[in-house]
Structure 1
Amino acid sequence: MTGGSSILHPAGPIAAANRAILFNALGVMLAVVIPTILLAIATAWWFRANNRHAQRDETFVYSGRVELVVWSIPLLVILFLGGIIWVGSHKLDPTAPIETESGAPPLQVEVVSLDWRWLFIYPEQGIATINRLVLPVGRPVRFRLTSASVMNAFFVPRLGSMVYTMNGMATELNLLAAEPGRYEGLSAHYSGEGFADMRFDTLAVSPAKFAEWAAQVKALDGAPLNAKTYALLARPQRNRKVSGFPTVQAGLFDAIVMQRVAPAPGPPQDRSSTDAEKS
């Protein structure tokens, strides 16, 4: 990955914690791998054909000490790595809210993966955007995510954890941008022919600039985002153009999750009616 999208250059606490787990696990493994490689090279060199000082015990069959070392070291490594992953995975639960010193409430953002674009709804601001995510620096963000079609994955590498999006259900992710910048977001799960172009810009700006941006989107002279315009958006298309909606139909995201509005090709539109037919 490039510096603009690498998990090795975190721009938030979640990404930094992910990198720490990666480096800790790598360090533990290298602590075993490097001595093992050096020992293998040293053994081959010492027992070379022209080394008359090397002696072999042809009667050697078993050594309890050797067995203890051979089995205990891998076991300890596995336990240590397992502990790192166990603790880290629970501390980085994507549904756990992020607490800050300011105590600011999280910004609510609803995400819909389309074929092959991203829809971002800001319910508090009453606006929505296509292929552009704007976040205030230093404020926690709570994402609710779903898919209009096939299973997908939402990932902004420099901000943190990846989370799947699935049709007919909502997942959750909490992130925080600690510094201003432009970060690449992408789909991390193959979803068809437009998958490679399914990327979006993530802009981390100051709270004042975020409020200014939201006001600019609110002032756009364009169509509202409602069930009708969403049905057009949900059609498969490869288009990385950034656009915005000045108003959003109340409860649209929940209607998408419950399949009460026309989605892209996939499961039935209205699960409740389908269940009623089965009964």
Structure 2
Amino acid sequence: MRNPRFFLLLPLFAVLGGCQMVLLSPSGDVAVQQRNLMLASVALMLIVIIPVMALTVFFAWRYRASAKATYHPDWNHSLPLEVVIWSVPLLIIVVLGAMTWMGTHLLDPYRPLNRISASKPVATAKMGERTPAKQPLVIQVVALDWKWLFLYPGQGIASLNEVVAPVDQPIEFRITSSAVMNSLFIPALAGQIYAMPGMQTKLHAVINHAGEFEGFSANYSGAGFSDMRFRFRGVDDNAFGEWVQTASRNGGPLQREDYLVLERPSEREAVRHFRDVPADLFEAILNRCVDRAKLCMRDMMAMDARGGGGKEGIATVAALEYDKSVRRGGQPLPPRPFVLAIACTPSDVYGTAGARRSN
């Protein structure tokens, strides 16, 4: 070997050998369709890129200084060349546009699945059948600082930093956040979807192969962001039933008071399971009223839709505090003066404005 520095690159190849190209080899049908869309888009764009790169080399060689190329000083137009130059990119744009439109609708994360895999559609109930179709597994997701809480309302359990789902069963994720915006991302299963406080997003997906996969937050959310990871395990129906029974038997309770403690910021939390989960816990988290002393967002919006609480509702509005600084380990915020316009009559508002104009 003339250049011994080549051996210095061997450790680099050893490190790269441990990489997993999960995006190009996913285990869920939604992620597979997204992978195929990405590969098709790249292939279409290479139709232009490869000829351009090849022609760049060809023209550099063909019209080099030492070459005896034919000189055509009066040449300025070629109809076949113009047709190729304009038609090929136009066709590529049309095809890419059609693929984007179809992918946007067919792979909408809010859209229920219509297939388990390319050769297996979702089973639907038919007239006269006693056995109903298999319903999607509902998993409610709460992004905490800095951990993930997964609620299973149909099973009455919850898990921290672990998701378990049966293979070939549709999954419906209902996602929200407790404090700041996050992003749920399981590359082997489907694309990422944001988790936002006071809002609910959805993600429909399915896992087609048993195994253990990585999930994490794809949106920076503070100091513990790097360790905000969890495990996603695809198992068969029997293993899923055993996991549910184990969580119901060995897990700790997760009442509202327990959630308020769990909600406090922490890092590198171990996997934990919970039982006795209230059926309305996710709705309370979504409406930011796990603490029963707080007014739920849905109730506040209902009051606003009916014209507000009037003067009698000032005390209720003044007591609202959604920063949760105290139970999150911080200091209580100092009281701030506020003006509630709905408590003023039109004559009060106009009279004040008129007095100011007169002054």
Could you state the TM-score of these two structures normalised by the residue count of structure 2? Answer: 0.71
1:41 aligns with 2:70: no
Structure 1 residue aligned with 2:272: 243
SS at match of 1:219: helix
Indicate the percent of aligned positions where both proteins have the same amino acid.
39
Q: Secondary structure at the match of 1:108?
A: strand
Q: Using the TM superposition, give the Cα deviation of residue 117 of structure 1 relative to its aligned residue in structure 2, in angstroms.
A: 0.5
Q: 2:259 and 2:207 mapped to 1: Cα distance?
A: 29
Shift of 1:269: 7.0
Supply the distance in 2 between the matched residues of 1:18 and 1:259 (Cα, whole angstroms). Answer: 34
- State the one-letter code of the partner of 1:15: A
What CA deviation, in whole Å up to 9, does each residue of 1:79-115 have, x standing for no partner? 2111112112211111222242483111111000111
**Alignment gaps of 5+ in structure 1:** 263-267
Residue 127 of structure 1 deviates from its aligned partner by 0.3
* TM-aligned CA deviation for residue 273 of structure 1: 4.4
The aligned runs of 1:124-273 (5 Å cut-off) are 124-220=154-250, 222=252, 224-262=253-291, 270-271=296-297, 272-273=299-300
Structure 1 counterpart of 2:29: 13
Q: Identify which of 91, 103, 111 aligns with 1:88.
A: 103
Q: Deviations over 1:185-225 (max 9, x none)?
A: 11111111211111100011111110010000000152x21
Q: Secondary structure at the match of 1:231?
A: helix
1:265 alignment counterpart? none
CA distance in 2, matches of 1:193, 1:128: 25
Distance 1:88 1:3 in 2: 28
Distance 2:235 2:169 in 1: 10
In the TM superposition, structure 1's runs of 4+ consecutive aligned residues that sit over 6 Å from their partners are none
Change (3 A) 1:269 1:236: farther
What letter is aligned with 1:136?
P
* Amino acid across the alignment from 2:173: F
Aligned length: 272
Name the SS of the counterpart of 1:75 in structure 2: helix
* Aligned counterparts of 2:23 and 2:211: Cα–Cα separation in 1: 15
Distance 1:19 1:130 in 2: 29
Bigger relative CO (Cα 8 Å, ≥ 6 apart): 1
Give 1:32 deviation, angstroms. Answer: 1.4
Which of the two has higher C-alpha Rg? 2
The CA distance in 2 between the partners of 1:147 and 1:4, in whole Å, is 29
Describe how 1:28-67 pairs up with structure 2 within 5 A: 28-52=44-68, 54-63=69-78, 65-67=80-82
- Using the size of structure 1 for normalisation, the TM-score is 0.90
- Identify unmatched segments of 5+ residues in structure 2: 1-15, 115-121, 125-132, 309-316, 318-339, 343-359
